[in-house]
Structure 1
Amino acid sequence: MRVSYYAVFNYDEYDKSEEKYGISITFPDIPEANTCARNYAEGANMALDILQLCLIDSEIEAYPKPSSIENIRLGKNEKAVLIQYDTDKIDISKFKFFNE
């Protein structure tokens, strides 16, 4: 099954020592899915990882309904990024679970 949710990339954090922005990443439809990154490429990877981790134990019927782009409010330094994956193609080996 194909899963698609918008992530909000917020560029408000500026690191003066590195002279670049840190990106905080949230998912409006999945409040527990939060991460951060130093650049867009890292952000896209981190967003995919946190989305998969937050939904990995969910039943398909329990997935929140994705918001449409028109219903996502963005601030001045924010942009929406569509994060997608196929639930049949998750590489679970990259995650380490310590409670099993």
Structure 2
Amino acid sequence: MRDDLAVESLSALAQEDRLAAFRLLVKAGPKGLASGEIAEKLAIAPTRMSFHLATLERGGLVVSRREGRRIVYSVSFDRMRGLLEFLTEDCCAGHPEICGVSRRLNEEDC
């Protein structure tokens, strides 16, 4: 991953509501959650949640799809995996197991 893409993704996560939404979407897995469900679960106003989800999407960390009248968001596991690998690629002088990242994350793991 390029430095500029890592900064973009990390910047998107650098806010409490966005981080909470991202973590909730990670738990939801590839199926994702509708924006209204996310707002409800996190007790955030739907318009404010939409703003935060758009920021996460611009940061490449989530993708959206329309299902009828709902917009469903899910994590971009490729981007998340790339960011995690970027952050740990030089971990502990080439010994990533020290950082607890000795195995690759797979979408099936979520």
Q: Normalized against structure 1, the TM-score is what?
A: 0.28
- Between 1 and 2, higher relative CO (CA 8 Å, sep ≥ 6) is seen in 1
Higher helix proportion:
2
Higher strand proportion:
1
